[in-house]
Structure 1
Amino acid sequence: MSDDHILVEHPEAHPGVMVIRFNRPEKKNAITTAMYRRMTQALHEAGNHQAVRVVVFLGTEGCFSAGNDLGDFLDFALNGGGGQPAAFEFLQALATIEKPLVSGVDGLAIGIGTTLNLHCDMTIASPRSLFRTPFVDLALVPEAASSLIMPRLMGHQRAFAMLVAGEGFPAEAALAAGLILKVVEPEAVEREALAMAGNLARKPPHALKITRNLLKGNGDDVLGRMDEELVHFTAQLRSAEARAAFEAFMRR
């Protein structure tokens, strides 16, 4: 059932912490439209729920997320879907939530499985993790304001290697680039991520919010770049070269 592909655990399970967990391991946690909508709903719930002070993103054993479900992309390309993709609404919610975000990555983190972490305040990963954004290979362009955030974070050369050349960054390379905070063994990823989140949840909330806002700035540039990327992304989704790239991928 698609409702089970995103599991949301409320603060009753982890005091002060909401967990959003990818749970589609048979498809390497590829994200469908329904999954984006559930995550967007969860982020809005977290933003409005006083008991939630921190949000944690987790995947399944050996896989964080393989990115967007290409079947959804192909359907959009073939049928010319109207309106903005559900992924964009999720990214807007991700970029504007005023509570700390933590992520724990074990295994594949592809496409939005990588760019999601750019909006997290602390990310840990296992040694077997791989961060990769093959947008150009699929005749697409970056999203999640990654074209703005990545060069700021890791410099032009590394950002170009990831976003344009499509090179994969193993955990140690991601650590050196500043994409993640630290590397822990696979069995410790969830435990460490929840411990980090629990520590943040126990801090004075108003001081925490102010300090996070000071670090992140007003975010208008991030939202503006998301809008700019969306124009190109949706145009490319409908392009002949993207359709050909999706069909070639699906034939593999």
Structure 2
Amino acid sequence: MTDHVLVERPETYPGVQVIRFNRPDKKNAITREMYAKMTNALTVAGSDAAIRATAFLGTEGCFSAGNDMNDFLAFAMGGSMGREVLDFLRALASATKPVVSGVDGLAIGIGTTIHLHCDLTVASARSVFKTPFVDLALVPEAASSLLAPRLMGHQRAFALLAAGEPLEAAEALQAGLIWKIVGENAVEEETLSVAGRLAKKPSEALRIARDLIRGERNDVLARIDKEAEHFAAQLKSAEARAAFEAFMRR
């Protein structure tokens, strides 16, 4: 059975843990099992002194298409977002060590909002960021309704999260969602390189600096929970079921 999330510690980048999406045939759509494995990796990173930075990577041409639609349908039947999803979002928001990401190509839904929790994101020029939450009769998640307006202002955040307008890489750079644009063949190398540089820095000084820059996390965790409540309510709605069924008929 193929492992759809690979957790690696590359020897060439000591102190770096890589969480790599590995489901290219499904555009790296994330299942509950994948969420659980990522949560475990983040938990290990928090307690293992040998891990000093974590890097998220996708595959060539696709970071992630977001949540797996079959899981979404199961969530709709159960009327909740799913424990694995919430556990991951809380672990990501609570990470105490640097988190970076590298994007090449599609970044949809959580494939976009995850970067709001990353300290540095590298992307290729062909990357596209999009959140079709409202198109699926759902609401934003991952505290994106709090973090995106803080980062890019109301109108850009509304266009991204509510109107479902895509952000090209250059627009994402201007909006502050990503740090740097590189060639598509350089995304992984640059992402791991910056993670490696962070891993070499004095850990306590870096932790304090990161905490000061990021600010209080309690409001982020509270927003994750509030969004999840609205998400669960919408999952039960007739408009969400109709949207899912229409999507699956495509």
- The CA deviation at 1:132 is 0.3
Could you say what secondary structure the match of 1:200 adopts? helix
How many Å separate the matches in 1 of 2:155 and 2:189? 34
Instruction: Note the residue ranges of structure 1 that are not aligned, 5 or more in a row.
Output: none
Partner in structure 2 of residue 196 of structure 1:
194
How many Å separate the matches in 2 of 1:83 and 1:126? 31
Could you say what secondary structure the match of 1:143 adopts? coil
Deviations 1:155-203 (A, max 9, x none): 0110010011000001001001010011001000000000000000000
Give the TM-score taking structure 1 as reference length.
0.97
- Where do 4+ consecutive residues of structure 1 move more than 6 Å? none
How many Å separate the matches in 2 of 1:115 and 1:207? 27
Partner in structure 2 of residue 144 of structure 1:
142
> How many pairs does the alignment contain?
250
Give the TM-score taking structure 2 as reference length.
0.97
User: Any conservation in 2 of the 1:53–1:201 contact (CA below 8 Å)?
Assistant: yes
User: Any conservation in 1 of the 2:80–2:232 contact (CA below 8 Å)?
Assistant: no
Q: Which amino acid aligns with 2:233?
A: A
Could you say what secondary structure the match of 1:98 adopts? coil
Residues 1:50 and 2:49 aligned together: yes
Distance 1:16 1:97, change over 3 A: same
Residues 1:205 and 2:195 aligned together: no
Deviations 1:97-126 (A, max 9, x none): 100000000000000000000000000100
Q: Which amino acid aligns with 2:73?
A: L
User: Any conservation in 2 of the 1:11–1:51 contact (CA below 8 Å)?
Assistant: no
Percent of pairs with identical residues? 67
What CA RMSD, in Å, does the superposition of the two structures yield over aligned residues?
1.2
Could you say what secondary structure the match of 1:41 adopts? helix
Residues 1:183 and 2:181 aligned together: yes
Instruction: Note the residue ranges of structure 2 that are not aligned, 5 or more in a row.
Output: none
How many Å separate the matches in 1 of 2:198 and 2:10? 13
Partner in structure 1 of residue 157 of structure 2:
159
- The CA deviation at 1:31 is 0.2
- The CA deviation at 1:70 is 0.8
Structure 1 residues 219-234: aligned runs within 5 Å? 219-234=217-232
